[in-house]
Structure 1
Amino acid sequence: MTWLRQDKVLFGALVGTISPNIVPYITQSKTSRDTWKALANTYTRLSRGHIKQIKDNLKNISKGSQSVTYYMQAIKTKVDELTTLGKPLDHEALIEKVLDSIDDTFQYVIDVINSCDTIITFDEIHEKLINK
């Protein structure tokens, strides 16, 4: 019975640490082992089509009328998915994606970032966009 309690704790930790958009893949799991198996079956199969779909989804993300935080979260989720699949996005490409998909309201921020001599982080861009 001790192992059941420990497994429930581990199962809870797994569920609590994964992204909410991944939770549907493990809803049928009853144990931590089932959870790991479900995640492995979902994410270890590198399919060219799946990677292309994620890249297309990333390409189509634009800020539009959504909040800066939601916009940045959407980008980060897709970038993290690509990284998980062993296809990380180059940092420069990530920065270009963020800057290319926001409207002219943020032109000053775009100009400042583009004129920097040092590489800016994703978190720093997020902060600058929020402060705008």
Structure 2
Amino acid sequence: MRRAKITIVGAGNVGATTAHWCAAAELGDIVLLDIPATEDMPKGKALDLMQSSPIMGFDSNVVGTTSYEATAGSDVVVITAGLPRKPGMSRDDLLATNAKIVTAVSEQVKTHSPNAVVIVVSNPLDAMVQR
């Protein structure tokens, strides 16, 4: 039986923690993706997770990348990408910024994994899922 492929877009704290729990629960093989400017970050976090696998007792494969091509055929895509809210930033400002990010990510997901179940975790979450 084929393992599920789970892509997590956004390798920050929420994304890396999501990847950890998905791997530890052996929900499938994980692709941890972030923007090209952070190329080493998703790779490093994936390596950290893989090195913890013998201790944590899981055998999920975790790959870090900046290429959407690596996400092709994903069964589940979790979008955690977005900027954190900064001091003085309104919810409307955050929405405008993160809506652009989630829209761009969604286009890539539609191209590479058109049949995936998509879970959005980007803030402001209530407004983001209504778009």
Normalising TM by the smaller chain, what interval?
A: under 0.3
Higher helix share: 1
Larger Rg: 1
| TM-score of the superposed pair, with normalisation by structure 1 | 0.26
| TM-score of the superposed pair, with normalisation by structure 2 | 0.26
Higher strand share: 2
